[in-house]
Chain A
Amino acid sequence: MTYVDTFDWRLYRDGSRLATAVEDGDLTLLWRPPGDGSFCRLPIDRQPDFVWDLPEGTIRGQIESSVEMRRLLPVAEVFLQGTVWNVIDRRQKILLTFVLECGTAVNPIDPERKLRLPAALRVIPVKGYGDVYRKTLAAIEREGAKADSSCPLELALEIFDRRPLAEVAKPAHDLKPDLRGDLAMKSVHRRQLLAMQRNLEGLRRNVDTEFLHDFRVAVRRTRSALAQVPEVFPRAVTGRFRRGFSWLGQATGPVRDLDVYLLSLPRYAGDLPEELRPALAPIDRYLRRQHRLEHRRLVTSLGTSRFRQMIEAWEKFLDREAPPRTSLRNATRPIGELAGERIRRAHRRVIKQGKSIKDGSPPQRLHRLRIECKKLRYLLEFFAPLYAEQDVRRLVGALKKLQNNLGDHNDYVLQQQSLHAIVDGLSGSGPVPEATRRAVQEVLRQLEERQRVTRKAFQSRFKQFSDRKVSAVFDRLFGEARA
């Protein structure tokens, strides 16, 4: 059987297991809920790549919220053979099962590597017969033996030396309020650079959209930090890297856009009447073709010396010691003071722009506000260690709600525009089937409706964010008095 999980081990972290296996000639999905010993089984017709490839039902419903749009990757393959003994009562009711299991594990990253798993004696309890289970375990222990409770996945991961949880751990981010501004910002930037470097390989291999997404977030944060906290690095440095990262943002844009369309297509399809759903297939094919093309282009860009040199130079700059004396206004200011000032400014801008948006304002105004919110959010996150966790969480939470509204609105607007562009692109390579046009019309209608609903909700969301209570927390944390 092949265990699958997302690249960041979401199922493993939940304590559940998902696998596919061929049982009696049929492809079967196996799912073990968190903390429970036995697998639920479901016949499937193909190996799932995403959660929406699974048939609708219990298993999908249970894992959907944690897996989301992440790709399901094979994490380990095990071939198991077992002998089963059931302990039964006089009614032939099974009270307990023994399984003597042996097998081999294959490393999915390097299929040539096969290792024999140690033989395991498993004692599988039956619900409601806990006393039989406990007595059996005690009897086995008296004999000096031990029942095996490890799962084959854990054994396989152990022998291949893969540590699921370590791969998602984040480095500690330590900022003190009296740290010099330039040093503090270097620490902020170093984290972003690390995030880029970590996601680079996955992005190149295109195993999951999340690598590119995280990479782009780190790029955006870097750009935002360079622009939002000025006068900490020499102007030439700031200018050079602002240009460099802006280029990187643009280079990664098309693939990300296509990722978003491909991820949202099944959702659109789900909202269509059943007979129209297949009509979206040409769009899907077209997007995939474009995606392959753009991804190749992106990998080429990431292989250029321009990219390599820029990252190397940036890394070198971040590692360089700060000059003891400088004419830069913010370089030697304590970060506690600087952070408060920048956040205050960003907050003010959000409030000002938000207030100026009326019911009839064009979507571009909301988009601009969305960008301002992002800037504020990044600042709050960069400097979170300087403030009480609870306060920052509250502010970020309030901001997030507003951002979700603005983000959704922007998505609906953009997706309508891009659907038109996609249909245009599609018609360039041949006539577009009538059913596809109709399906697109229907999707457009739904997007417009959703846009209308989110737009309507904007005022109340903004009101919540600009509420006196939230503003009071901003004032208390970043207010004049503190600076």
Chain B
Amino acid sequence: MRVIAVYSIKGGVGKTSTAVNLAYLSAKSGARTLIWDLDPQAATTFYFRVQAKVRGGSRKLVHGKKSLDRLIRGTNFDGLDLLPADFSYRNIDLELDAAKQPKKRLAKRIRPLSEDYDHLYIDCAPGISLVSEGIFAASDALLVPTIPTTLSVRALAQLLRHMKKHRPRHLRVLPFFSMVDRRKAMHREISARRDGDGAQFLESQIPYSSQVERMGTHRAPLATYAAGCDAAAAYEKLWHEVLGQTGSWFAWFRQDRFGF
């Protein structure tokens, strides 16, 4: 099972829409896909029309002995399941702090699911905390949506600085530009650079689009109601790029060993 976390220190950068749309595309391609909503705001859960309530809350999530499988809900889409969020997830940090080997805890909870799913997408809450560290340890790739603005790029630089010292060996950090508004000079300028500040951005960029915002009214992935729009095509491209980077064992091996 490939674990891909959509993560950013900064909020409002398009994490949820990225996670939802990529997970949908992954399921559509025939991969058994699970999306895990770890954000107490429960936006992903809302998009999939599932009740944001998890039996046992964050306490059972961290300390529970029973498999997470019983908390999973099927979505309205073939091959795509959801592990919903709960408001108590705002306290996961506290629960992890009380656990043994807190950073490895989430990875341990995920492991039994790898039989049933090929891809797991995690929609993370913003911020950097013990939960994020746990996610880093559990994931194969970290997709970092970045708006081409000073603050967003600064948040990415912060993350990369942190990663320099604390990156788990298997984790790949894949930043990409999100909510790119071509009408703004600053967006054009920043998004034209694909590297800089130690970051190597993916080629795909997600444009700013009102269709993406409408996911909230449709409560469905973009491709189900606006398949022809630019943003849908951009997500598709991003998905292929992420798959190319993370899909085959060889790609991983190559990246790890040779760094290209």
Contact = CB atoms under 8 A, between A and B. Distances in A.
Given A91-B49, A93-B76, A128-B72, A57 B29 contact: yes
A153 B49 CA distance: 34
Contacts of B81: 127-128
A92 B78 CA distance: 16
A31 B31 CA distance: 11
Contact of A94 (B72, B76, B79, B219): B76
Nearest to B73: A128
B79 A129 contact: no
Interface of A is mostly: loop
Contact of B78 (A40, A91, A128): A40
Contact of B74 (A29, A39, A56, A126): A126
Interface string A113-130: 000000000000011110
A38 B219 CA distance: 23
Given A40-B30, A40-B79, A58-B31, A92 B49 contact: yes
B76 A41 contact: no
A42 B73 contact: no
A280 interface: no
Contact of B31 (A39, A57, A128): A57
A74 B125 CA distance: 49
Given A56-B248, A58-B118, A91-B49, A128 B29 contact: no
Contacts of B76: 93-94
B30 A38 contact: no
B237 interface: no
A376 interface: no
B50 interface: yes
Interface residues of A, number: 22
Contacts of B118: 58, 61
Interface string B70-92: 01111010110100000000000
Contacts of A92: 49, 219
User: Which one of B30, B32, B76, B248 has the highest number of Cβ atoms from chain A below 10 Å of its Cβ?
Assistant: B30
Given A56-B248, A58-B30, A129 B78 contact: no
B81 to A, nearest CB: 6
A136 B28 CA distance: 29
Nearest to A54: B30
Nearest to A130: B70
Contacts of B71: 128
Interface in A46-96: 56-59, 61, 89, 91-94
Given A42-B29, A59-B30, A127 B72 contact: yes
Given A93-B49, A93-B50, A127 B31 contact: no
B49 A129 contact: no
Nearest to B27: A40
Contacts of A56: 248
Given A41-B79, A42-B30, A92-B49, A129 B248 contact: no
Given A93-B49, A128-B73, A58 B32 contact: yes
Nearest to B48: A93
Contacts of B74: 94, 126-129
Nearest to B220: A92
A33 B29 CA distance: 15
B253 to A, nearest CB: 14
Interface in B48-103: 48-51, 71-74, 76, 78-79, 81
Interface string B6-19: 00000000000000
Contacts of B32: 33, 40, 58
Nearest to B84: A128
Interface of A: 29, 31, 33, 38-42, 56-59, 61, 89, 91-94, 126-129
Given A29-B30, A126-B74, 9 more contacts: A38-B79, A42-B30, A58-B32, A59-B30, A92-B219, A94-B76, A127-B72, A128-B73, A128-B74
16 contacts: A29-B30, A39-B78, A40-B31, A41-B28, A41-B30, A57-B29, A58-B30, A61-B118, A91-B50, A92-B49, A93-B48, A93-B49, A94-B76, A127-B72, A127-B74, A128-B81
Interface of B: 28-32, 48-51, 71-74, 76, 78-79, 81, 118, 219, 248
